[in-house]
Structure 1
């Protein structure tokens, strides 16, 4: 056989026992069975030791099983490639090796394994070296292995022809590192593990992608129990959940922490949890002395150190974000890049499993990666750089929340902004867009309040705390209370009396659902500050909130007295919204006192004011109150009609909270009275679900009792 014109690269072909290279003929005196170019040797079984206490991953194991070549027909399928990807320490190797041990009997030609060192100490393994090892394992003498990469790969493919071999390529850093190691003939299966998504293998080589996530809570508990032992788990069950949480359900971290307990009988789980509780030292706690592969920080380092500079910088900035997840726009603010560039960088980090996409344009890090990213920011970026990034983020949150409140709740009073405009503002132009932003950023806004408070950015705390008003519609009372408390403290520290009066009022309104006595104290103080300032609106708002507390305590006459005192102060202020609120609350008090005709008058005036100001949420709430006033007069058809009118408006509004539940409850009462029991039960059940979800246990109990009475009759 001689050189053929037009054939690229060094290798022309490999036939029988002859390897033909450009410019030379190299004879390899080998047997042609079971494949050309290899000697008869025992099938290689190169898998490393399987993890003894492997836990969970049943769905992933089944997915791999489903890819196995069918039956004994070597030509039944083409080469099957599975790309197992996931973050550092997620258990990719453990899963793959465990599965390969289970199924290697299905591959009579042997099992090949190599660690490609894509991430780890030292340089990644060149495909040429991996081919050398595989060819030797398959019976090719060292002197017969070509030097050139393409010749070596061609011989490898030739040797595998006709064999059924399982090939495990572990810890790969790119598709290019894998491609020379892929067989060409059917009957073989290749499993690749990587911290990168290896999209190229999926697109070009039709690999089946299998992504590993953190362990589930039950899987994490099972893993820890297997390592520590069920007796010790039972003895300290109260702290096991915290151990799992602090390890972020990351298998490597769980193994290290649990092994510390198992290896030292005198160590309690509580002691290890105490060590892990310090976020600054948590990564160092999750290590085994002298073993880099059993150290969370080290395995994260191996991923981080391979990032290009711009991706590494973005990763560090994401570590400065205080919330559980972040948007691409928040990341853009932190990194001072355009949102499109931020999205590109975040997607690259997601491919490397250093961030996780959690929705359209949103990303998160698990707690250990977050701690690692923040640690890298401390190590590589100066305090001044970090402070500028965080200040930009908090300023952006405060401004955007202020704008979203204006779009979502037109006519609501808001404090005048007293902080500079953000360098990268986000455009919010519609109510649905504003509500989306507020709901998506709920947890991040509360985290931003906390971070601003830690940094003594008083005006940021004030404006971010004020934005927590929208949590009323989500029933997130506890988070709202904490934000308002920080806002009150910040306003006192900076001497902003207007902000103090307003935030005390908001705080008191929120407290009435939890601790009425504390609410009275807060609102009495708010009234005193408003009188001192001579601010009619703030005084009307505080008096209204005081009336609501008395209403909650069923002191309806006192409630009416406060509402009536506030009503003249509200005329012509705040687009008429405060006046509408007071008329609404007067209607509620009149209904509670049995003065239903007066209740109708107050509610109708409130509906008119709500419609005039475009307050559809308030209109729905007031229609419900108007329906109750007619219900009190036993006019159930009128009540039902008003409730249905309000419900018809509700699809246009989101975040109605318990208002919708009040509507369903009111409608159900009148439906029951008119004999429409089936729909009444259905509406009560809807109301019960919302009350429970919104944290209104008292109302939930009332509805549950009504349901029991009706369904047991």
Structure 2
């Protein structure tokens, strides 16, 4: 215990090391293992600084001891397991965890290798199908990692993960630290295409959960990547989402400027789907700035284009935008019709985000008219949906 500083992780590794010899081999192997540990102890006595004035182990000793035991355990496993450990060090360390499928894809290894590392105490389980690495083990392995393909596989895995889990917010929450780690790699290695694809997909989740600072950092990087690559579609996407962040923060003039820049890019490049999104958001911003005429113009243009494209989700968004403008003009009955049409469409396509918005707005309209009993069911349903989505803004 003294040789390893009494550290729990070190003791675990020593125990696993001895048990592997006792359980699998003859007694003479256990004796040899004990001799190995005694040699390590002698080595530590030579390398650790002594202190004449303090009987306690020096502050540097626990770390040195832990590193020595990690090295011993690492050398005890096969090269494939060693390579896997180094690959897994690309994930953020404990308390973060990562899924088994990500570990296998990034390390390019069979599942049995994970079992080997877990048996050696170098890899910890963290719930069903998940693993975690102690920070010191991760640091040790990271220093020895030389395979640059690991980084590419990390980015590729989470880019695909985002594409297939874009609306599964619970899954995105579990993997947030891993996704951000993949973004950092993509940014540092100038993997512009993957960074753009990933950030644009992840941005909506970050907005919904209120992680505006994180979203802004990633979107600014993605915008620069789009400029460097002359990617007009990527540029329009990032301007759209940066505008949304500014709007959420209440900086409406900045939001209008970003949306307008995006609108110009989308028109020039004939990015019709993105154009619809920008028109919808720009309508809402100028409405809040009191410019009802421009707001209606943007909303109507966007709705007409969404109908032309047959895009029900965007029709749903623009119906709400137009209904809000019409209400501001005092045409309440027509506004009610647009709200009902939009809510029915949101239910039909199971767009819970838009359902929340419609329920909130319809409830608010009823309350303003003094019809509180009529408003209550809308508020209650909207609140229930918002809680399910963990939507902070709603």
TM-score range, shorter chain: 0.7 to 0.9
Structure 1 residues 220-231: aligned runs within 5 Å: none
User: How many Å separate the matches in 2 of 1:490 and 1:476?
Assistant: 21
Show CA shifts across 1:211-261 (max 9, x none).
xxxxxxxxxxxxxxxxxxxxxxxxxxxxxxxxxxxxxxxxxxxxx9xx99x
Give the match's secondary structure for 1:314.
helix
The residue number in structure 1 matching 2:223 is 488
User: How many Å separate the matches in 1 of 2:160 and 2:2?
Assistant: 56
The residue number in structure 2 matching 1:447 is 181
Q: Aligned pairs, how many? A: 366
Give the match's secondary structure for 1:173.
helix
User: How many Å separate the matches in 2 of 1:347 and 1:486?
Assistant: 38
The residue number in structure 1 matching 2:154 is 393
Show CA shifts across 1:367-418 (max 9, x none).
332221111213xxxxxxx22232122112112211222xx3xxxxxxxxxx
Show CA shifts across 1:61-109 (max 9, x none).
xxxxxxxxxxxxxxxxxxxxxxx99423xxx59xxxxxxxxxxxxxxxx
Give the match's secondary structure for 2:70.
helix
- Whether 2:130 is the aligned partner of 1:404: answer no
User: Which of 126, 130, 135 is equivalent to 1:358?
Assistant: 126
Give the conservation status (yes or no) of the 8 Å contact 1:590–1:598. Answer: yes
Higher helix share: 2
- Whether 2:371 is the aligned partner of 1:371: answer no
The residue number in structure 2 matching 1:679 is none
User: Which of 151, 169, 174 is equivalent to 2:19?
Assistant: 174
Give the match's secondary structure for 2:165.
helix
User: Which of 186, 191, 210 is equivalent to 1:475?
Assistant: 210
- Whether 2:245 is the aligned partner of 1:510: answer yes
Structure 1 residues 559-568 or 484-493, which shifts more? 559-568
User: How many Å separate the matches in 1 of 2:248 and 2:382?
Assistant: 25
Give the conservation status (yes or no) of the 8 Å contact 2:16–2:121. Answer: no
User: How many Å separate the matches in 2 of 1:347 and 1:556?
Assistant: 63
Give the match's secondary structure for 2:308.
coil
User: How many Å separate the matches in 1 of 2:388 and 2:85?
Assistant: 34
- Whether 2:30 is the aligned partner of 1:87: answer no
Shift of 1:478: 1.7
User: Which of 53, 66, 76 is equivalent to 1:306?
Assistant: 76
Give the conservation status (yes or no) of the 8 Å contact 1:596–1:632. Answer: no
Higher strand share: 1
Show CA shifts across 1:100-155 (max 9, x none).
xxxxxxxxxxxxxxxxxx85xxxxxxxxxxxxxxxxxxxxxxxxxxxxxxxxxxxx
Give the match's secondary structure for 1:174.
helix
The residue number in structure 1 matching 2:32 is none
Structure 1 residues 70-81: aligned runs within 5 Å: none
- Whether 2:85 is the aligned partner of 1:315: answer yes
CA, structure 1 residues 322+171, in 2 after alignment: closer, same or farther (shift >3 Å)? closer
Structure 1 residues 619-628 or 320-329, which shifts more? 320-329
User: How many Å separate the matches in 2 of 1:300 and 1:493?
Assistant: 43
User: How many Å separate the matches in 1 of 2:21 and 2:233?
Assistant: 64
- Whether 2:200 is the aligned partner of 1:466: answer yes
Show CA shifts across 1:648-688 (max 9, x none).
6x39x8424036xx4xxxxxxxxxxxxxxxxxxxxxxxxxx
User: How many Å separate the matches in 2 of 1:366 and 1:555?
Assistant: 56
User: How many Å separate the matches in 2 of 1:502 and 1:574?
Assistant: 20
Give the conservation status (yes or no) of the 8 Å contact 1:465–1:486. Answer: no
Give the match's secondary structure for 1:634.
coil
CA, structure 1 residues 359+580, in 2 after alignment: closer, same or farther (shift >3 Å)? same
Structure 1 residues 550-561: aligned runs within 5 Å: 550-551=286-287, 559-561=295-297
Give the TM-score, by structure 2 length: 0.78
User: How many Å separate the matches in 1 of 2:62 and 2:375?
Assistant: 71
CA, structure 1 residues 360+585, in 2 after alignment: closer, same or farther (shift >3 Å)? farther
User: How many Å separate the matches in 2 of 1:292 and 1:634?
Assistant: 69
Give the conservation status (yes or no) of the 8 Å contact 1:87–1:352. Answer: no
Give the match's secondary structure for 2:126.
strand
Structure 1 residues 223-302: aligned runs within 5 Å: 288=60, 294=64, 297-302=67-72
User: Which of 353, 358, 366 is equivalent to 1:622?
Assistant: 358
The residue number in structure 2 matching 1:576 is 312
User: How many Å separate the matches in 2 of 1:374 and 1:574?
Assistant: 50
Structure 1 unaligned regions, length at least 5:
1-46, 52-83, 94-117, 120-169, 179-255, 264-285, 379-385, 409-433, 663-713
Give the conservation status (yes or no) of the 8 Å contact 1:401–1:467. Answer: yes
The residue number in structure 2 matching 1:501 is 236
Give the conservation status (yes or no) of the 8 Å contact 1:600–1:630. Answer: no
User: How many Å separate the matches in 2 of 1:485 and 1:171?
Assistant: 47
Give the conservation status (yes or no) of the 8 Å contact 2:316–2:345. Answer: yes
Shift of 1:582: 1.6
Shift of 1:347: 4.0
Shift of 1:292: 9.5
**Greater C-alpha radius of gyration:** 1
User: How many Å separate the matches in 2 of 1:389 and 1:605?
Assistant: 50
- Whether 2:109 is the aligned partner of 1:337: answer yes
Show CA shifts across 1:525-574 (max 9, x none).
10110111133322221122223334555666654443234322222336
Give the conservation status (yes or no) of the 8 Å contact 2:266–2:274. Answer: yes
CA, structure 1 residues 475+48, in 2 after alignment: closer, same or farther (shift >3 Å)? closer
Root-mean-square deviation over aligned CA pairs = 3.9
Structure 2 unaligned regions, length at least 5:
24-47
Give the match's secondary structure for 1:305.
helix
